[in-house]
């Protein structure tokens, strides 16, 4: 399963690649990384329908995660990828906007990786 | 006899184009005129063979009734035995016919068998009763998957066989149970039952049973990865069967030995045994292994070794031999399997078109002649995989979904289901269906966890049993071996721990330092916050504290995540130390070290942010003093320049100063204004440095500071303004960023290179002095930051 992670922090890539190294080895999960909203859109355009799950930070310089969410939900809907937003706790305003724009779920910062693994298990169709 | 008649009939039907219906009709016609029971039985049996799958039950029932009738009359022991075997054979597919029906149908079938059993028991024929019970046990397991029912009937069968002293049946019972326990993963019970069988056979000198028991024991050991014991028992079985010249058992044992070596990836030895088997089978006409079987085995051996080219070769030979040998009726059951295997071997070589071809042929064959080996669901999965390989995701999904339904309903084969859910996830992923992929991923993980859990339980059971065994018999031997190993291991462990110790100590102190830094900063921050609530600057600081929390979350996130990661890695490292993999330990230690560097880096980031904030909040606590701005500016200019040169040796810029000589001293907090100047100058140098990296021809990076007094009257200092302008010829500031630059935490610098507080701090300081900070900029040309402070 291909997952696109969008975050301006480059260390996020190292973190994901290490925390999920077993799953990456067995081929269960395959991660791609974009360091800005613009990069993410470029990736989605070039790799149409490849990533089925998108994890995006909200607070990023340039295009914010919310703007990215809006564009993804508008452009890609057959079939739609699952989009989860990463927000800081207590960030109610952002959560509301994200909800309205159609975010499928939220993760809080600091990123809880075992929580993420559970989320992947519990999300049903 | 029957098989010959069947073959002849089939041949006739082929030659004369008899359709199935015409055959049936002709047989039914014969039935009407048949007088003798034996004739009628024969015809019913043929009808059962020829008719449609769903009609078979129609002919099985009357056949069973006839057998029953005949057994009541028959006195000849030999003939009775034949009839009992006939009955057993009729029962063989009995449960199968009810398999796809609902529970009511199943209960009807069992009630049917129960009443027949009671009738048999009333006749007192124990041999027949034991055989019947054996079949009922098998049906309960194979068709109904009811293991407790299986045990009940099997134990009854064994006890009746014991009363009748029917050795063969007793051993069959034991072995069936043993094989059931083995495949269910019940190590202890499996071992117990097989060993009972062994001692029973030894007591009665029943060599055939003994050989079979040793073979089953080998299988059990194989399942639990005790390969030495498995081989030992297979050798024993071979020895006994050679000594007693039991060719049938020799054949079976040779096959097992071949499979054993194939699993051990020793294809050379496997082939040795299989070739032996082939030689014997040619001579021994009653060999249970046809050439086709053996060729298939060899193909499987190669396939397990990932030598698909050779596997394909042998499978093709096998197919050829099966297609040629029309005498062997059982070949029709072998055909779907060999077609499936050929499909698999092409799939493994990514020849999906050929694979699809073979798999389709296989499933079509099954649909017309029946699926006694119960492979249909699995073939659906294989077809889905073929279509996936051909990128036809719609068809792949359709077939795989059907396979999932079948697998859920039928035998709960966890390993099979794991494969299928994995494929389902890949298919949905390829289709871009995120929700589908995730739900299948969830299933996949659950099944994997379950299998891991079962495996752990199995291993635990086995380990417990083994521990007890070893304590009783091999104590001394083990002690010596352990002592020697421990000594070697100690050397490795000492070395590893030494390395580990260094990294842990370093990491521990670093982490402690970081932790203390952050804790200290947080406490200071909290108290400062309380103080500042009174000040009029709180308006902007209110935003700032929310901003701080936000900003610090990021590096804190990394500190937590990387340190959790290191915890995991340390556990892994411990495991590797236990195994003595020093190489792996070194690799992991390197990763841990790098992660600690990241933790350190992010910890410092957090601390820097707080430090910056504290400076910001403290800026109002200084006292104003008369200051020579020209001197100040000059000093900070040089400071900034040399500071940057120290960091980046390649850095070079022209400095330009235009100081107004008439500038009077002004009352300012010199520390704060100094900080402002430092910040603006540093920004200017940064901007020109960035532009110079672009390599434009003739570009001379220049930063200039100008000071000027603007007076509105002749009286010095009254209504006058101090102007400080810091100019750079960098790339300028784009319009949409210009509005944001004074916002706290806004920065265009890469993460970690700037806190984004400099300009907002500068802005606030200037404001606090009653002045203003403005910027004029043009993209491609540069920027000018202008500080104006009134003389009061």
Each residue's pLDDT tens digit, B530-541: 444 344 344 444
Residue B453 within a domain: no
Q: Which of A2, A25, A52 should be substituted to probe chain B, the one whose Cβ sees the most B Cβ atoms within 10 Å?
A: A52
**Chain B residues close to A121, C-beta within 8 Å:** 441-442, 445-446
Contact B565, B597 (CB under 8 A): no
Residue contact B602–A11, C-beta within 8 A: yes
Phi-psi bin for B123: left (phi > 0), alpha (psi -120 to 50), beta?
alpha
Residue contact A123–B442, C-beta within 8 A: yes
Give the model's pLDDT for residue B279: 86
Contact B335, B290 (CB under 8 A): no
The structural domain count of chain A equals 1
Region of poorest pLDDT, from A49-53, B69-73, B317-321, B732-736: A49-53
Q: Which residues of B touch A (CB under 8 A)?
A: 422, 425-426, 428-439, 441-442, 444-446, 549-550, 553-554, 556-558, 560-562, 564-565, 591, 595, 598, 602, 748, 751
Give the pLDDT mean for B63-89: 86
Largest CA distance in chain B: 146
Give the pLDDT mean for B138-154: 84
The CATH number linked to B283 is 1.25.40.10
Give the model's pLDDT for residue B541: 46
pTM of the model: 0.47
Residue B47 within a domain: no
**Chain A residues close to B430, C-beta within 8 Å:** 49
Residue A122 within a domain: no
d(CA B518, CA B510): 12
Residue B277 within a domain: yes
Angle, helices B103-123 vs B126-142, to 10°: value is 170
d(CA B139, CA A51): 48
Each residue's pLDDT tens digit, B368-378: 877 766 788 88
Contact B766, B772 (CB under 8 A): yes
- Bond before A70 cis per omega within 30 degrees: no
Residue B512 within a domain: yes
Give the model's pLDDT for residue B198: 94
Matching residue, tokens 């075997």: B85
Domain check: are B549 and B651 in the same one? no
Residue A24 within a domain: yes
Each residue's pLDDT tens digit, A35-71: 988 899 999 888 877 778 899 988 787 788 888 998 8
Q: Is the pLDDT of residue B648 over 80?
A: no
The structural domain count of chain B equals 3
Residue contact A18–B595, C-beta within 8 A: yes
- Is A98 an interface residue toward B (CB < 8 Å)? no
DSSP state of B413: -
Residue A124 within a domain: no
- Is A111 an interface residue toward B (CB < 8 Å)? yes
Joined together, the tokens standing for residue B8 give: 């002849």
Q: What is the tally of helices (H) and strands (E) in chain B?
A: 30, 7
Q: What single string gives the DSSP state of each residue in B713-725?
A: SSSTTTT-EEEEE
Q: Which of A18, A55, A92 should be substituted to probe chain B, the one whose Cβ sees the most B Cβ atoms within 10 Å?
A: A18
Percent of chain B at pLDDT > 90 equals 25
Domain's final residue, options B251, B273, B289 = B289
Q: What is the phi/psi pair of residue A39, to 5°?
A: -60, -40
Q: Is the pLDDT of residue B138 over 90?
A: no
Contact B439, A123 (CB under 8 A): yes
Residue A125 within a domain: no
Instruction: Point out the residue among B439, B557, B595 whose CB comes nearest to the CB of A125.
Output: B439
Give the model's pLDDT for residue B580: 87
Each residue's pLDDT tens digit, B437-488: 888 888 888 888 888 887 777 777 777 777 776 776 666 676 667 777 777 7
Q: Is the pLDDT of residue A79 over 80?
A: no
**Chain A residues close to B431, C-beta within 8 Å:** 49, 79
Mean per-residue pLDDT over chain B, rounded: 81
Q: Is the pLDDT of residue B155 over 60?
A: yes
Q: What single string gives the DSSP state of each residue in B619-639?
A: GGGSPPEEE-HHHHHHHHHHH
Residue contact A10–B751, C-beta within 8 A: yes
Q: What confidence category does residue B768 fall into, taking pLDDT thresholds of 50, 70 and 90?
A: confident
**DSSP H or E run through B153:** helix B147-163
Give the model's pLDDT for residue B534: 40
* Cα-based distances in Å from B124 to B84, B158, B164, B273: 14, 16, 11, 46
Residue contact A52–B598, C-beta within 8 A: no
At residue B305, the 3 state secondary structure works out as: coil
Q: Which domain holds residue B736?
A: 621-790
Percent of chain B at pLDDT > 70 equals 81
**Chain A residues close to B446, C-beta within 8 Å:** 121
Instruction: Point out the residue among A19, A109, A123 whose CB comes nearest to the CB of B553.
Output: A109
Give the model's pLDDT for residue B545: 58
Give the model's pLDDT for residue B777: 93
**Chain A residues close to B444, C-beta within 8 Å:** 28
Residue contact B751–A8, C-beta within 8 A: yes
Domain check: are B661 and B763 in the same one? yes
Domain check: are B766 and B654 in the same one? yes
Domain's final residue, options B255, B289, B323 = B289
């Amino acid at each position: 399963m291909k997952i696109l992670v969008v975050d301006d922090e480059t260390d996020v890539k190292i973190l994901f690649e290490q925390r999920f190294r077993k799953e990456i080895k067995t081929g269960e999960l395959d991660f791609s990384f974009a360091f800005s909203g613009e990069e993410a859109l470029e990736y989605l355009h070039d790799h149409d329908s490849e990533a089925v799950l998108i994890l995006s930070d909200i607070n990023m310089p340039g295009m914010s995660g919310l703007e990215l969410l809006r564009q993804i939900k508008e452009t890609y809907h057959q079939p739609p990828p699952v989009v989860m937003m990463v927000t800081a706790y207590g960030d109610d305003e952002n959560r509301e906007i994200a909800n309205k724009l159609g975010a499928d779920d939220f993760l809080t910062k600091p990123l809880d990786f075992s929580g993420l693994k559970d989320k992947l298990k519990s999300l049903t169709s | 006899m029957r098989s010959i008649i069947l073959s002849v009939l089939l041949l006739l039907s082929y030659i004369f184009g008899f359709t199935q219906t015409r055959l049936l009709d002709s047989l039914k016609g014969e039935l009407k005129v048949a007088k003798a029971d034996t004739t009628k039985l024969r015809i019913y049996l043929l009808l059962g063979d020829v008719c449609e799958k769903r009609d078979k039950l129609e002919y099985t029932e009357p056949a069973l009734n006839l057998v029953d009738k005949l057994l009541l009359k028959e006195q000849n022991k030999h003939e009775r035995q034949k009839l009992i075997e006939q009955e057993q054979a009729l029962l063989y597919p009995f449960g199968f016919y009810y398999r796809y029906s609902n529970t009511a149908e199943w209960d009807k079938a069992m009630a049917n068998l129960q009443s027949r059993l009671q009738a048999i028991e009333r006749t007192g024929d124990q041999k027949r009763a034991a055989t019947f019970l054996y079949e009922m046990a098998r049906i309960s397991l194979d068709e109904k998957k009811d293991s407790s029912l299986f045990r009940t009937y099997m134990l009854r069968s064994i006890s009746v066989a014991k009363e009748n002293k029917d050795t063969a049946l007793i051993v069959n019972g034991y072995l069936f149970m043993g094989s059931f326990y083995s495949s269910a993963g019940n190590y202890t019970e499996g071992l117990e039952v097989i060993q009972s069988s062994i001692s029973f056979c030894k007591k009665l000198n029943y060599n055939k049973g003994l050989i079979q028991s040793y073979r089953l024991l080998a299988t059990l050991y194989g399942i639990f990865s005790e390969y030495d014991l498995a081989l030992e028992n297979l050798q024993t079985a071979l020895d006994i069967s050679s000594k007693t010249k039991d060719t049938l058992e020799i054949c079976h044992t040779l096959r097992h030995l071949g499979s054993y070596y194939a699993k051990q990836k020793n294809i050379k030895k496997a082939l040795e045994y299989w070739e032996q088997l082939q030689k014997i089978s040619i001579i021994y006409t009653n060999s249970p292994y046809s050439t086709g079987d053996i060729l298939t085995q060899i193909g499987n051996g190669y396939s397990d070794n990932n030598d698909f080219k050779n596997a394909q070769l042998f499978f093709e030979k096998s197919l050829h031999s099966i297609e040629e040998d029309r005498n062997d009726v059982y070949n029709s059951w072998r055909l779907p399997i060999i077609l499936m295997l050929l499909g698999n071997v092409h799939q493994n070589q990514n020849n999906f078109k050929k694979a699809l071809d073979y798999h389709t042929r296989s499933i079509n064959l099954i649909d017309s002649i029946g699926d006694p080996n119960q492979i249909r669901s699995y073939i659906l999965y294989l077809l889905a995989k073929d279509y996936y390989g051909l990128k036809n995701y719609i068809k792949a999904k359709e077939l795989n979904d059907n396979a999932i339904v079948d697998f859920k309903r039928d035998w709960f084969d966890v390993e099979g289901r794991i494969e299928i859910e994995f494929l389902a996830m890949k298919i949905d992923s390829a289709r871009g269906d995120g929700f589908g992929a995730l739900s299948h991923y969830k299933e996949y993980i659950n099944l994997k966890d379950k299998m891991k859990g079962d495996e752990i339980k199995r291993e635990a059971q086995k380990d417990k049993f083994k521990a007890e065994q070893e304590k009783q018999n091999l104590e001394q031997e083990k002690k010596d071996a352990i002592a020697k190993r421990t000594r070697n291991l100690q050397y490795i462990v000492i070395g590893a721990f030494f390395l580990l110790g260094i990294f842990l100590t370093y990491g521990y102190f670093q982490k402690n330092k970081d932790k203390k830094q952050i804790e200290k900063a947080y406490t200071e921050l909290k108290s400062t916050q309380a103080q500042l609530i009174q000040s009029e600057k709180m308006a902007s600081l209110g935003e700032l504290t929310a901003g701080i929390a936000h900003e610090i979350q990021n590096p804190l996130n990394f500190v937590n995540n990387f340190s959790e990661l290191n915890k995991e890695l340390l556990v892994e490292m411990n495991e590797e130390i236990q195994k003595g993999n020093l190489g792996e330990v070194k690799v992991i230690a390197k990763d841990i070290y790098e992660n600690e560097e990241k933790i350190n880096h992010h910890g410092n980031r957090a601390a820097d942010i707080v430090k910056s904030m504290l400076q910001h909040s403290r800026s109002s606590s200084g006292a104003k003093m008369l200051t020579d701005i020209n001197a100040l500016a000059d000093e900070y200019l040089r400071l900034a320049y040399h500071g940057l040169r120290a960091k980046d040796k390649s850095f070079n810029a022209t400095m330009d100063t235009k100081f107004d000589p008439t500038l009077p001293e002004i009352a300012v907090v010199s520390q704060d204004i100094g900080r402002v100047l430092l910040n603006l100058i540093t920004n200017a140098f940064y901007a020109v440095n960035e532009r110079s990296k672009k390599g434009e021809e003739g570009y001379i990076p220049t930063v200039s500071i100008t000071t000027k007094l603007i007076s509105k009257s002749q009286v010095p200092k009254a209504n006058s303004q101090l102007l400080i302008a810091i100019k750079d010829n960098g790339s300028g500031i784009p319009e949409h960023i210009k509005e944001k630059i004074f916002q706290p935490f806004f920065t265009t610098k890469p993460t970690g290179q700037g806190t984004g507080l400099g300009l907002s701090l500068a802005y606030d300081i200037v404001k606090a002095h009653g002045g203003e900070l403005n910027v004029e900029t043009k993209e491609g040309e540069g920027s000018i930051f202008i500080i104006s402070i009134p003389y009061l």
